[in-house]
Amino acid sequence: MRILGVDTATWRASVGVVVDGEVAAEQAQLADGSHAVSLLPLIASVLRAAGCPIEELDAVAVSSGPGSFTGLRIGLSVAKGLGRATGARLVGIPTLEALARTVADRRGAICAALDARKGEVYAACFEASDNHWCRLTPDLLLTPESLVGTLPAPCTVLGDAVQVYGDLFRTRLGSRATLLPFEIYAPRGGVVATLGWERLCAGRADSLPELEPDYVRPPEAEVNAARSCNREHLLV
C-alpha cells in the first residue's frame, strides 16, 4: 500500500510517502508566503524520490487540524484534489497526534502544543509505553498558563508553542518537563502517512466529500457573525 502524507498545519510544510508501513521518502519546506505556492512541487519531488507515480497512490493522509486555518484548508484541498484525480482514498489525521508521534520512541507523557495566536495554544497530551500508545486529553484550546498548570509530570513538550512560550514553560515547569525545539521536532509528512497506513489497515478511511478541517477554535467569520446576531438581538 502506497500512501502520501501531507502536513500544512504550521508554517513548515512536510510531505512523506509510506510504502507498506515504511517511510520511503520525506521532505519539508518552510512556507514562502503561502503553502499554495510550494505544496504541489514539494509533493512531486517526494513522489519522485520514493519512485511512486502519482497514479499508483492508494491513499492520501492529510493533517486535519488544529493549526493554521489557511494551511489546513490548503492541505485538505490538495489532498481532496489528488483523491478525485487518482481515486486514492482519503484519511484525516489529527495534527497534534501526528506531532506527538514524531517522538514515539520516548516513554511517558507527551504534550503536543501549537501556537494558536491570541495568547492561546492548541494542545493534547498522550501516554507512550513500550507497547502502548494512548490519548490522555482531547484537542484543547487554552492559555499557555492553563496548559502548564494541567500537564502531567514528568512530561515531554514539543511543537511551535515551545518556541513562542519557552520561557514560561521553563520557569513554571522546570525539571518536570523536557522541552524539544521545533526546528528539530516539527510535524512530519512521513508520520502522517504512517498513521494513515495504520488507520487503513484497521479499515478506517474518511469520506472525501465530508472530511473537513478540525479547527478547534471557531473561524473568525463565525465569531463575528455570532457577535452581529447578538447585537441585533439586543436591539430588538
Range in 134-138, 193-197, 224-228 with the lowest mean pLDDT: 224-228
Give the pLDDT confidence score for residue 85 in this predicted structure. Answer: 95
22, pLDDT greater than 70: yes
Name the average pLDDT for the chain: 92
DSSP, res 176: G
pLDDT, tens digit, for every residue of 128-165? 988 889 999 999 999 999 999 999 999 999 999 999 99
Q: What angle do CA 46, 47, 50 make, to 5 degrees?
A: 85
Q: Give the whole-number percent of the chain exceeding pLDDT 70.
A: 92
Highest-scoring range by mean pLDDT, 130-134, 187-191, 232-236: 187-191
Dig out the grid coordinates for 227 from the structure. 457577535
Average pLDDT over residues 219-229: 46
Q: What residues does each domain of the chain span?
A: 2-95+187-216, 97-179
Count of C-beta atoms within a 10 Å radius of residue 175: 8
Average pLDDT over residues 49-61: 97
Q: Angle formed by the axes of helices 69-86 and 35-50, to 10°?
A: 50
Give the pLDDT confidence score for residue 171 in this predicted structure. Answer: 96
What is the band of 233 on the pLDDT scale with cuts at 50, 70, 90?
A: very low
Average pLDDT over residues 193-207: 97
What is the band of 225 on the pLDDT scale with cuts at 50, 70, 90?
A: very low
Instruction: Give the CATH H-level superfamily of domain 97-179.
Output: ATPase, nucleotide binding domain (3.30.420.40)
234, pLDDT greater than 80: no
CA distance 91 to 197: 9
The better pLDDT of the pair 225, 130 is held by 130
Q: Do residues 45 and 57 make contact, with C-beta atoms less than 8 angstroms apart? A: no
DSSP, res 62: E
CA distance 166 to 16: 29
What is the band of 231 on the pLDDT scale with cuts at 50, 70, 90?
A: very low
Q: Do residues 57 and 200 make contact, with C-beta atoms less than 8 angstroms apart? A: no
CA distance 125 to 138: 8
- Residue 117 zone, left/alpha/beta (φ > 0; ψ -120 to 50; rest): left
CATH code of the domain made up of 2-95+187-216 = 3.30.420.40
Fold match, 2-95+187-216 / 97-179: yes
Give the pLDDT confidence score for residue 219 in this predicted structure. Answer: 65
DSSP string, 89-109: EEEEE-HHHHHHGGGTTS-EE
pLDDT, tens digit, for every residue of 61-95? 999 999 999 999 999 999 999 999 999 999 999 99
DSSP string, 146-171: HHHHH--SSEEEESHHHHHHHHHHHH
